[in-house]
Chains A and B, each alone.
Chain A
Amino acid sequence: MDLTEFTITQAHEGLKKKEFSSVDLTKAYLEKIKKSDLNSFLSFDENWAIEQAGEADKKIAKGDFGMLCGIPCSIKDAIMVDGQKCTAASKILENYVAPYDATVVKKLKEAGAVILGKTNTDEFTMGASTENSAFGVTKNPHDKTRVAGGSSGGSAASVAANEACYSLGSDTGGSIRLPASFCGVAGLCPTYGSVSRYGLIAHASSLDQIGPMTKSVEDAKIVFEIISGKDPMDATSANYKFEESKTQIKGLKIGVPKEYFAEGLDKEVEGIIRDAIKRAEKAGAEIVEISLPNTKYAIACYYIIVPSEASANLARFDGIRYGLSKPGNDLLDVYVKSRGEGFGSEPKRRIMVGTHSLSSGYYDAYYKKAQEVRQLIRDDFAKVFEKVDLIFCPVAPFPAFKIGEKVDDPLSMYLVDLYTGAVKLAGLPGLSVPVGKINGLPVGLQIIGNHFQENKILSAGMWIEKN
């Protein structure tokens, strides 16, 4: 029996029946991590993991314990865990030790979770392949010559390769859903505001969200229920409480956006997604062709807004309060040298694009225009959700690509976010659920819902996973 193959639900049952302990589980995962050549983890703390498992076993012995108690997980290295390194996969934070817990981590700890370690990401979560990590690419467990997707590539690979039972990732324009699709795991990007962002290293604050990456959709629901809700430490968190939905496939109105099945979509990916849609139709769902006419502007809009916000967020890395500091002749010299040395090429590119878009003389043409287009994209989705319950579409135009394939062409990397970026501009939730494979490479179906309708998405996702 390989303990690391269990879902959260299965592992919980095993703990309940005393078939194994949390320490057994944790040791099994640590063995996998130590033998791994995927580079999914940037750091892990063996002794601390076993210590947490021991504490969980005490709670389990008392009989009163929740679903996550004693279950080992991994956390993306952009989310702070008190006392552990948090690098955001950047040289500028190489030696940064988190001074407090992110709210999501606090909630997991209260639920008795065992944190194994911190997973690889594109630097400051900026990328779609984990190739932008300052500490090496994460390999796809299904084909080690290919990327795991990004930016939460380490989280996705760790779950897919049984190096963790589940993981927390973060999603700005696809960073949970894309690696979930590439690695064949479930990944939920929640509605903007349903999960606290306190303790997540900021990328683009009007889009960033933390969410679960799991072996099953049911597991995603379990984790989401625990991490969601209002947090006084995050003013953008909403008064939201997860409620079970009675959503059934029969009678469900599913929108299929024609713009997401246009040029650029791999034919085999299209076939797999259309098959999944057909299965829902056979089960009684009503399939409605819909249009999101402003899709063509989404990537350009996204790549103005995100770098603009990132350029402001990354201003805090100045070599003064924390992180890499290079000596200089005066204060300005310290700033430019620390930032020049500490940031990798993608953060630099985004800081430059963002600074330019916000600068005098260019603001109206870029940033202001992008904000207007963002409204058009919001309106597109709002109109569609007057007619349908959920949207079914691909997560990515193709399965996992080769390591190095897009690395020299940032624009082609940006276009990977085609089906995941617009959703975020509208603040909507989206789930990636594995629905097929092409030559051994997983393909995810994206299920998009209206604001705060994660319950509907998850119900439909659980159905699709089983049928």
Chain B
Amino acid sequence: MISKEEVSHIAKLARLELTEKENEKMQKDLSAILDYFNLLKKAPKPEKIVKSKGDLSAARKDEASHRDAGLVEKLMALAPDKKDGYIKVKAIF
């Protein structure tokens, strides 16, 4: 069984606040899920890793693309806190 401290550690890495109750449920759920993953230990190694078919990873040219006027305003309107056209955030410390 995964411990309370381990769950808290992962939650910290994941930037998630968990309540005491959520932590308890997470210990149970994660333990069952991670136990199930042990199945993979029996799987053989593949001969080689081949990327999927098709030209799926073609990078576009590094050029600014044209976007509709007003998109910036729409995006800014979604920000919870802003000032003078900038998104406002809390200090790091």
- Chain A residues at the B interface, C-beta cutoff of 8 Å: 96-97, 99-100, 192-193, 232, 235-236, 238-240, 294, 296-297, 299-301, 303-304, 311, 315, 318-323, 325, 328-337, 339-341, 343, 345, 348-349, 351-353, 355-356, 359, 366, 369-373, 375-376, 378-379, 410-411, 414, 426-427, 451-452
* A198 → B minimal CB distance (Å): 12
The reply to whether A427 and B52 form a contact with Cβ atoms under 8 Å apart is yes
The reply to whether B30 and A353 form a contact with Cβ atoms under 8 Å apart is yes
Residues of A within 8 A of B65 (CB): 232
Judge if B92 is at the interface, Cβ distance under 8 Å.
yes
Give Cα distance in the complex from A370 to B37, angstroms: 9
The reply to whether B78 and A99 form a contact with Cβ atoms under 8 Å apart is yes
Give Cα distance in the complex from A235 to B65, angstroms: 14
The reply to whether A330 and B93 form a contact with Cβ atoms under 8 Å apart is yes
The reply to whether A355 and B10 form a contact with Cβ atoms under 8 Å apart is yes
Residues of B within 8 A of A370 (CB): 40
- Chain B residues at the A interface, C-beta cutoff of 8 Å: 7, 10-11, 13-19, 22, 25-26, 29-30, 32-34, 36-37, 39-50, 52-60, 65, 68, 71, 74-75, 77-81, 87, 89-93
The reply to whether A372 and B45 form a contact with Cβ atoms under 8 Å apart is yes
Q: Which residue of A lies closest to B61 (CB)?
A: A232
Residues of B within 8 A of A339 (CB): 15-17
Contact of A325 among B18, B40, B81 (CB under 8 A): B81
A-B contacts, CB under 8 A, total: 166
The reply to whether A349 and B46 form a contact with Cβ atoms under 8 Å apart is no
Please name 11 pairs of A and B residues whose Cβ atoms are closer than 8 Å in the assembled complex, sorted by A: A97-B78, A300-B36, A300-B39, A315-B15, A320-B79, A321-B79, A330-B93, A352-B11, A353-B30, A376-B44, A427-B52
The reply to whether B22 and A345 form a contact with Cβ atoms under 8 Å apart is yes
Which DSSP category, helix, strand, loop or mixed, fits chain A's interface?
helix
The reply to whether B43 and A369 form a contact with Cβ atoms under 8 Å apart is yes
Q: Which residue of B lies closest to A304 (CB)?
A: B37
The reply to whether B53 and A451 form a contact with Cβ atoms under 8 Å apart is yes
Give Cα distance in the complex from A370 to B90, angstroms: 38
Residues of B within 8 A of A97 (CB): 77-78
The reply to whether B71 and A99 form a contact with Cβ atoms under 8 Å apart is yes
Residues of A within 8 A of B92 (CB): 330-332
